[in-house]
Structure 1
Amino acid sequence: MTVNVGARSASSQPGSTTAGTVEFRGVTKSFPTADGAHLVLRDISLTIPPRHIVALIGASGSGKSTLLRLAAGLGEGPTTGEATIDRTPVQPYDSRCGVAFQEARLLPWRSVFENVSLGLPRSLDKDAGKARVRELLELVGLSEFTDHRPREISGGMAQRTSLARALARDPEVLLLDEPFGALDALTRLRMHDLLLDIHAASPTTVLFVTHDVDEALKLADTVLVLGKEERNGETIPGATVIDVVEPKEARPRSTTSDEFGELRHRLLDRLGVELSSEA
C-alpha cells in the first residue's frame, strides 16, 4: 500500500520554517535470528507532508517503533527501500530529527536546564543556545525549575524536559515513541494539550507511536494502522500499513462525538479488539 497522507491537512498553517517531508519508499526491515531473517516491516511506502501530525498504532511487535527509528536514523537503515527527509536520505542519528521516548532518559547529575541544552545543535553560539533553552522551558512550563535535578521533579515534568530537549535543535521532524505511556491519566491529558500548544507555536512534522487509540484520534491529523495482511487464508510475514484514518473534526476533538466513536470502533476492530454490541 502506498500512502500519501495529508490531502486535507488540519495543521497546514504557515509559520514553520523547519518542517520536513518524511518519505518511506518501498521500505522493508528484517533482523537476523538463529532461524534466519525475521521480517518486521514489509513494503512501506508512505509520504508525510510538512507540519502534519501522524500517529502510528498497531499490536505489540507490529514494527511501530522500528519504523520510527528508521525515520530518525537510529540503528541500521532499511533492509530494502529508502527513508528520506525532504528527499534526502536519512543519516545515522539524523540531526534534522528530534526524538523523545517513553522514558525521559535525563542525565541525573545535570539540571533541567543542562539536560535541555544537550539537544542544542553544536553550531549554535552559547548566548543563542541559552536563549533557546529559556524559551523552550517557558513553553513547556518549567521556567521555575531550571536548576532542579531529575530526582527533584515529577514524571510529567521529566517528560516535559525530554520534549523540550527534543525541540532544542528546532527539528524538521519530531519523533515520539510512546512519549506519554508511562504517565498517569491526568498528566497524560495535560501532555496532550502541551503537545498541541507546541505544535501550534512551532508546527513541525510529527510522527508518534502510541497504543492508545483515543490518544491517536485526539492528536493526529492522520492515524496509520500497522499490521499483517492475510491472503488466501494465510498471514503474510511482515507488517505494513493496513488502514488509514483521517478525522474530519478539527482539534480540539470531543471524545464523545459521533465521528470519534465511529473511528474508535473502526481502529479497535482493525487491532483485533472485540467490542460488544452495546459498546
Structure 2
Amino acid sequence: MQQIPPLGFGTFRLEHNVAYRSVKMALEAGYRHIDTAQIYGNEREVGQAIKDSERPRDEIFVTTKVWTDNLTQERFILSVEDSLEKLQMAQVDLLLIHWPTANNASLRIALEQLIRAKEKGYSRHIGVSNFTIANMETALQVMPASEIFTNQVEVHPYLTNQRLLHWCKRNGIHVTGYMPFAVGKVLNDATIGGIAQKHGVSPATVVLGWELQQGLATIPSSTRRENMASNLDASRLVLSQDEMAAITHLNNNDRQADPDFAPDWDA
C-alpha cells in the first residue's frame, strides 16, 4: 500500500508566483509531497509548478482539500473536478475534507461524497482534516478506518494534541501534523534551541524530527531554499527519549488555527 511521504511541503498562505516558485524550489530540494487546498487559492500555481518540474508526476504525492462551502451533495464532486482542472491532473493522491461540518447529518453526506470522489477515480486515497475524536467516530460509521488515509490536524510542541493522536493510533489511523512551527513561535523556545545546539541543527529541524519520530507526517512551509534544505535534515535526526519528552512537555494548548466554525476541540 502506498504510504504518505512523511516530510511534505505545505502551501498555506503562499499565493500567486510565490506559490509557484516555492513549490518548484521544494521539488528541486527533494520534497516529493506537496499539500494544497481549495481555500488556499493556489491550486493552479501548484499544478503548474509540478508540471514544470523535472520530476515525473508519479513521483510526487499531491494532496488537496475540499472547502466547507463545497461539502454538499450538489457541490462536492464539481469542486473536486474544478481542483483537478486547476492542478492539471486527472487524479490527486490524497483528497481531504478540510474541516468537519457542524452536525452529523451533513458530515455524513460530505463523507459519502468523499467516498464517491475516490470511486470516480479523482483521488487514490481519501482522508479528513481538523477532525476531533467525535468527528472521527462519525466517520467510522460511514467508512472503515482503513479507508481514512490520514487525519490532518494541528500538531506542534505547544499543541501536542496527545489525546487525539493516541485515539488515532489505537484505531489504526495515520496523522499528519500541520503548522509544526506554530507560526514561528516554537522556533524561539529555549528548550528546543538547546536541543538544536546539542545536535548542531536548526530549531526547525528539531521540531520536525520530533514530529517524524512520533510516526506523523508533517508539512512545513517555506519560501527560502536554505530552510527547505535544513527541514529535510529532520529525517536523519535522532532524538533521545528524554529530548522527545522534554519537547512534548512544552504543550500549553496554544492553538493557532481556530476559526469560528471549528469543532469543539479535544482537551
Q: TM-score, normalised by structure 2?
A: 0.40
Q: TM-score, normalised by structure 1?
A: 0.39
Q: Could you say which structure has the higher helix fraction? A: 2
Q: Could you say which structure has the higher strand fraction? A: 1
- Larger Rg computed on CA atoms: 1
Greater RCO (CA < 8 Å, at least 6 residues apart)? 1
